[in-house]
Amino acid sequence: MTGAPATPEQGPVVDAHLDLAFNAVGLGRDLTLPLDTLRTSEARSEQSAMVTWPELRGAGIDLVFATLYAQPAQRVAMQPDAARPAETVPEEQSIAPAYRNAGEAHAQARAQLDWYRSMEAAGWASIVHSRADLVALRERRAAAWDAPIGVVVLMEGADPIRTPDEVQWWWEQGVRIVGPAWQGTRYAGGTRAPGPLTPLGQELIDTMQKVGMALDVSHLADESLWQALERFDGPCLASHSNARAITPSDRHLSDDALRALGERQGVVGLVLGNTFLDHAAGRRGPVDLRSVKRHFGHVRKHVGSGRVGIGSDFDGGFGAEETPVELTRGADFARLGEAVSHEHRASFLGGAWWAWLERSLPST
């Protein structure tokens, strides 16, 4: 993709959940390639790539929440077909490394963090640590469409934190958000793994608050979520979750949880896999932006106006064939604005997340 993108004029454009480093380090995808080049080299008939750095530039994305995601050896399918119940995923079916203990998880996340730093050195990314960095990023992005894209580092699943007192070290390395769970972790119950915070998880939450880390409640099991919100007084978010009332799964948030996040000035990012939007449709659809509109309306009703954004999770276990028909590649990101009325478009496409970062990041 060449030339300056048609960036929405209303404000910054933000995707609050992309597994960029896992795709690059774990799956071996060269994300510096144009998307069409990557797709041709992979020649996939499902889970076709949607995101590379050039594609993000072409989409006019100003900032992403980019994950450190270590893949556990024991897991179940996160986005199963409606007709097929979730089953344990055999480790041999994954080409990515899988961890069996905290040390292995730590090593995976360290390698991914090193990759983000290499992307920063190469001019693709600019890691955002503070509100001062956010201001500088906005100025650079306004001056040049191909300026480095902002990256806020988010740890998805806290097992790479070997002990809670290591939170401070991860903070110093640039991590600003931690989601304690993916499925079950040593710290918390998670998706399809119900349970409370463990004693270690309670200590983790307390340490996160002391350090200033934000809490991502996506993937937390209900019991863990409520315990975490009760203990934690810092900034909260759901980087990539939908409305459980529409998609009945513990992967998504109940109305009570949405209201609780709204009371904490949290923001919810809608995740765009087909079965997350419409479980009955299955991975291959048909699903379109009307499903995004339904989730937006329901989540906004409970969390509040100006507190719903996008956490696409593109290439996080699903690709172009498993997303709404209007979204064929990352450059279609701006089409998500069609799912909401004009008055909500700027907030939905990025303004809600930008305002949350201005409230939640340290000043310097």
pLDDT in tens, 92-150: 445 688 999 999 999 999 999 999 999 999 999 999 999 999 999 999 999 999 999 99
149 with 126: CB under 8 angstroms?
Answer: yes
- With b for 16 or more beta-carbon neighbours within 10 A and e for fewer, the 307-327 pattern comes to bbbbbbbbbbebbbebbbeeb
Q: What is the pLDDT of residue 82?
A: 46
> What is the spatial distance between Cα 22 and Cα 4, in angstroms, rounded to a whole number?
28
> What is the spatial distance between Cα 305 and Cα 340, in angstroms, rounded to a whole number?
12
State pTM to two decimals: 0.94
Q: What is the pLDDT of residue 80?
A: 53
pLDDT at 195 over 90: yes
Q: What is the pLDDT of residue 84?
A: 46
> What is the spatial distance between Cα 64 and Cα 126, in angstroms, rounded to a whole number?
10
Query: Among all chains, which residue has been given the structure tokens 């040593």?
Result: 186
> What is the spatial distance between Cα 329 and Cα 318, in angstroms, rounded to a whole number?
12
Q: What is the pLDDT of residue 4?
A: 47
pLDDT one-digit tens code per residue, 236-293: 999 999 999 999 999 999 999 999 999 999 999 999 999 999 989 988 889 999 999 9
Closest Cα partner for 320 from 348, 287, 349? 287
Mean model confidence pLDDT for the chain: 93
Domain architecture of the chain: domains with CATH: 14-360 (3.20.20.140)
pLDDT at 64 over 50: yes
pLDDT one-digit tens code per residue, 164-181: 999 999 999 999 999 999
96 with 22: CB under 8 angstroms?
Answer: yes
- 182-205 mean pLDDT: 97
- 324-344 mean pLDDT: 97
Q: What is the pLDDT of residue 10?
A: 67
Q: What is the pLDDT of residue 94?
A: 57
pLDDT one-digit tens code per residue, 227-252: 999 999 999 999 999 999 999 999 99
Q: What percent of the chain has pLDDT over 70?
A: 92
> What is the spatial distance between Cα 268 and Cα 276, in angstroms, rounded to a whole number?
14
Q: What is the pLDDT of residue 340?
A: 98
297 with 33: CB under 8 angstroms?
Answer: no
Contacts of 301 (CB under 8 A, 6+ apart): none
Confidence grade of residue 204 (pLDDT, cut at 50, 70, 90): very high
Q: What is the pLDDT of residue 147?
A: 98
- With b for 16 or more beta-carbon neighbours within 10 A and e for fewer, the 123-142 pattern comes to ebbbbbbebebbeebbeebe
> What is the spatial distance between Cα 322 and Cα 333, in angstroms, rounded to a whole number?
15
